[in-house]
Amino acid sequence: MLLRIRQLTNLGYSVADQALSAGGMFLLNVMLARTLSKVDYGVFVLSYSVFTFLAGLHNAALLEPYTVYGAGRYHSNFRQYLRLMLGSNLVVCGGLTALLLLGLGVLHWVSPPLASKTMFGLSLALGVMLTAGLVRRTFYIERRFRRAVCTAILFFAFLSCGLWASLRAGWLNGFSVFVIVALSWMLAWLATARDLVRRPQGPSFLSTHPQYWREHWRYAGWVLATSLIFQVSSQGYYWLVAGFVSTREVAELRAMYMMVAPVEQLFVAFSYLMLPRMALHYASGRIGDFVHVWKRYCWLVVMATTGMAIMVRLFGRPIVHRLYAGKYDGSIHLLFLCSLVPILTLIGNTMNDGLKAAERPNMVFYAYCTSGVATFIVGIPLVRHFGAAGAVYGMLVSAAAFAATLAVAFAVLIQRSPRITASANITAP
């Protein structure tokens, strides 16, 4: 009973952390959608998709291996491992920032109107925004859930004050919001995360694990390739709409998808808890516990996504009207379609996390390849013929291909483990 209460408490902390962290970004998007023209908000959406792309590279090169190995095989000397990852994060963030600035400089030379101030703001904030992911993962690996929530509370408070001040001063735009986000994270870390940079006692991690980087890149290579394909099957739809239709419809698509984004953030909260647990169980040979955690995970996602779809159908129209002050009422049909996408995507992502915890990133890569192929074969024609609605239809097709491939891969993993078969009598809650 005490164990169940502790698990529910930890889940509550994770949900609260994700609600505050993602809620700040949701608030930011709503304020921009209400304040800016649809064209200007569309430019911000495309700029943010660039951040999503670079965050995917950062996640693949660093965060995914860090989470799996830190919670699994290296949990006994985690502080030495963290020291190595902090230095590596500095190198990766510096490289990605330089890459973005270089691209922005080339764009300014080739076509100055496309080199927006919003992209420059992203360049300034990129390193801090990426490091936020590393700090939050560290809290979850070390199971310091309260610290994660305190950081999120401070971030949300600083962000809200910054957005309010910039709105009152007439400075709210794509450039200013990226700067405000970066400053909010930095102020939150000063209060809660200073101990992460202390040098641990004992020998360095690489002196005791000299072959680590070979293992790291053997895992990260698959995840990196996967992240590139992921952009095609998800963020790529925004660029398809921009190319074949207009940035105005990009804004409408994003404004509607933001309404179902909370359930995706709830999934991230689940993932922060479940992925480290599954990695530890698998690395320790406790395969029955590994399957048991996945089943609980899957049931939570099914209930959350179907519940969100029902709520959107019942209450979506008046909420959209009030939230965007009637500006996006004509796009409500997109909202009803968007509410179906997380059902397929997030159920697939539970198996995605399971395969990653089992150190099978190659199987996840094949699933994203299938999704990317579906985007090219089906998604592009749908966008060209149906505009933003076609993009959502394409997302559904890509998500279905992704989930089906992962289901096959996960079934193969289960069949090849005798201990999992022996634990098959474990039922979901």
Q: State the pLDDT confidence band at 428, using cuts at 50, 70 and 90.
A: very low
Give the pLDDT confidence score for residue 420 in this predicted structure: 40
CA atoms of 178 and 129, how far apart (whole Å):
9
Closest CA to 390 of 380, 399, 376: 380
Closest CA to 339 of 314, 321, 376, 318: 314
Whether 341 has a pLDDT exceeding 60, the answer reads yes
Report pTM: 0.73
Name the 3-class secondary structure at 116: coil
Give the pLDDT confidence score for residue 224 in this predicted structure: 77
Give the pLDDT confidence score for residue 421 in this predicted structure: 38
**Across residues 327-333, what is the average pLDDT?**
90
Question: pLDDT tens digits for 121-152?
Answer: 999 999 999 999 899 889 988 888 888 899 99
CA atoms of 142 and 79, how far apart (whole Å):
10
Q: Cα–Cα distances in Å, from 300 out to 1, 131, 275? A: 20, 28, 14
Whether 268 has a pLDDT exceeding 80, the answer reads no
Give first-to-last CA distance, the chain, whole Å.
Answer: 15
Residue 91: other Cβ atoms inside 10 A: 11
pLDDT above 90 coverage of the chain, percent: 30
Where does residue 175 rank: exposed (0-12), middle (13-18), buried (19+ CB within 10 A)? buried
Give the pLDDT confidence score for residue 386 in this predicted structure: 92
* Cα atoms found within 13 Å of the Cα of residue 194, Cβ hemisphere only: 3
Q: State the pLDDT confidence band at 22, using cuts at 50, 70 and 90.
A: confident
Tokens of 223: 């995840």
Q: Please tell me which of 137-141, 152-156, 323-327 the model is most confident about, judged by mean pLDDT.
A: 152-156
Residue 43: other Cβ atoms inside 10 A: 22
Position 294: which residue type? W
Question: pLDDT tens digits for 361-386?
Answer: 788 888 888 988 888 899 899 999 99
Question: pLDDT tens digits for 169-190?
Answer: 989 998 999 999 999 999 999 8
Question: pLDDT tens digits for 186-244?
Answer: 999 988 888 887 777 778 888 888 888 988 888 787 777 777 777 666 778 888 898 88
Phi, psi (rounded to 5 degrees) for 21: -65, -50
Give the pLDDT confidence score for residue 423 in this predicted structure: 39
Residue 244: other Cβ atoms inside 10 A: 15
Per-residue DSSP letters for 172-194?
A: -SHHHHHHHHHHHHHHHHHHH-G
